Amino acid sequence: MSQATTDALLEVEDLRVAFAVGGREIRAVDGVSYRVEPGQTLAIIGESGSGKTVGCRAIMGLLPAAAMISGSARLRGSELIGLSDAQLRKHRGSDLAMVFQDPARSLNPTMRVGAQITEAIRTHRKLGKPQAKAEAVELLRLVRIPAPDRRFHEYPHQLSGGMRQRVMIAIALACRPKLLIADEATTALDVTTQAQIMELMLELQAELGMSLLFISHDLGLAASYADEVVVMYAGKIVEQAPAGKLFGAGGTVRMRYTRALLDAIPHIERAAHTELPVVSGRPPDPADLPPGCSFAPRCAHAADDCLAKAPALAEHSPGHSWACWHPCENGVAP
């Protein structure tokens, strides 16, 4: 892991983000490292407050100035952390683009969608209005919006949630980014629409040769669509592996928290009215993290060593890293 090769598209190393709130330091992201290879789909999974969104916003330069960011995030070898806003803007849109959870709030309600896409194109590329318009219609077609010429002139409120998210993706793709970050981009959508948007993103990824980094709370989504999965808890990565090593027939989840997440998802195979395996409590206060493993207070298998010392994330088997003193054997929680 340490022999940093330069062929990674995005290389994040020891990223830390802290906020000072009322005199207390809140460590939202606490030493996170991962790589996104060209053409790869990486999923970052975690509950609200796990630091998954804050980490990605730090890379995009979208955090308030009060955020204390350290570590490194290199996009094709060039450092993003510490860049000025103007420098970052060159990357945003052209190399890096982001799609957010709520398309209704990300779009301007008073502007026609076509104008919003055209604006994104002309911000980054020197194109005349007619060319930009043609390009925008092309983008609407690319994200499989039916009748793009007509939709171009519509307002966001005239579109369904799924259509609005397609428009957001069209805007994100305006300058053909190398990396698309999707932050809970399908969470607000119906299952059928979610499947359509996920498949659209994977198709576009293959068509345009992008990498995709998607952030979600849904482990099922990661299993179905990601190549590589990163699980975060209380600001740290607690498990990381290719999806095939975690899920399905040959897969084994090792970290207790990942196991708990997986077990808590209702399955259609489960009989009705059965009790779901639950973990009590909730994630720790980021300003008052326990000295040992952050998950220990909620973990049924926590022993004295878990409470005393935090396990480091280590590659225990090729490509599969986890941070746990007493991992699950063969993926099953005894």
Partner 1 sequence: MSTETAADDKRPLLSVRDLVQEFVVREGGGTRAGVVQAVSGVSFDIRPGETLGIVGETGSGKSTLARAILQSPRPKSGTVSFRGSELTRLRGRQLLAARRNLQFVFQDPFGSLDPKWQVRSIIEEPLIAYAAGDRQARRKRVDELLDLVGLDPARYAKRHPRELSGGQAQRIAIARAVALEPDLLICDEAVSSLDVLIQAQVLNLFEKLRRELGLSYLFIAHDLALVKQVSDRVGVMYLGKFCEVGPGESVYRQPLHPYTRALLDSIPSTEPGAGRKTTTLRGEPPSPVSPPSGCRFRTRCPRAADRCAAEVPEPRELFPGHQVACHFPLTEPADPAAAAQATATHTTATAPG
Residues that bind partner 1 (CB under 8 A): 47-48, 146, 160-163, 190-196, 198-199, 202, 217-221, 223-225, 243-244, 246-248, 251, 260-262, 264-268, 270-280, 282
CB of 219 to partner 1, least distance (A): 7
CA 273 to chain centre: 33
CB of 182 to partner 1, least distance (A): 14
Compare residues 92 and 164 and give the one whose CB is closer to partner 1: 164
Compare residues 141 and 217 and give the one whose CB is closer to partner 1: 217
CB of 189 to partner 1, least distance (A): 8
Q: Tell me the β-bridge partners of 72.
A: 13
Compare residues 179 and 262 and give the one whose CB is closer to partner 1: 262
Compare residues 34 and 214 and give the one whose CB is closer to partner 1: 214
| Helix (H) or strand (E) segment spanning residue 25 | strand 24-36
Compare residues 48 and 123 and give the one whose CB is closer to partner 1: 48
Two structure tokens written together for 120: 């994104």
**Strand pairing class (228-233; 41-45):** parallel
Sorted by sequence, the CB contacts under 8 Å of residue 176 that are 6+ apart come out as 94, 208, 210
CB of 42 to partner 1, least distance (A): 14
Nearest residue to 227 via CA among 250, 209, 211, 249? 211
DSSP characters for 280-318? -S-PPPTTS--SS-TTGGG-TT--HHHHHSPPPPEEEET
CB of 6 to partner 1, least distance (A): 28
CB of 253 to partner 1, least distance (A): 10
Compare residues 6 and 280 and give the one whose CB is closer to partner 1: 280
Contact between 284 and 234 under an 8 Å Cβ cutoff? The reply is yes
CB of 162 to partner 1, least distance (A): 6
CB of 75 to partner 1, least distance (A): 27
Place of tokens 């990498």: 211
Sorted by sequence, the CB contacts under 8 Å of residue 206 that are 6+ apart come out as 39
Distances (CA, A) of 221 to 146, 193, 194, 234: 26, 13, 9, 21
Q: CA-to-CA distance for 24 and 292, rounded, in angstroms?
A: 20
Compare residues 38 and 244 and give the one whose CB is closer to partner 1: 244
In what order do the strands lie in the sheet containing 179-183?
96-99, 179-183, 211-216, 41-45, 228-233, 236-242, 320-322, 314-317
Two structure tokens written together for 132: 């930009």
Compare residues 81 and 295 and give the one whose CB is closer to partner 1: 295
Residue 92 is classified by DSSP as: B
Compare residues 92 and 256 and give the one whose CB is closer to partner 1: 256
CB of 208 to partner 1, least distance (A): 17
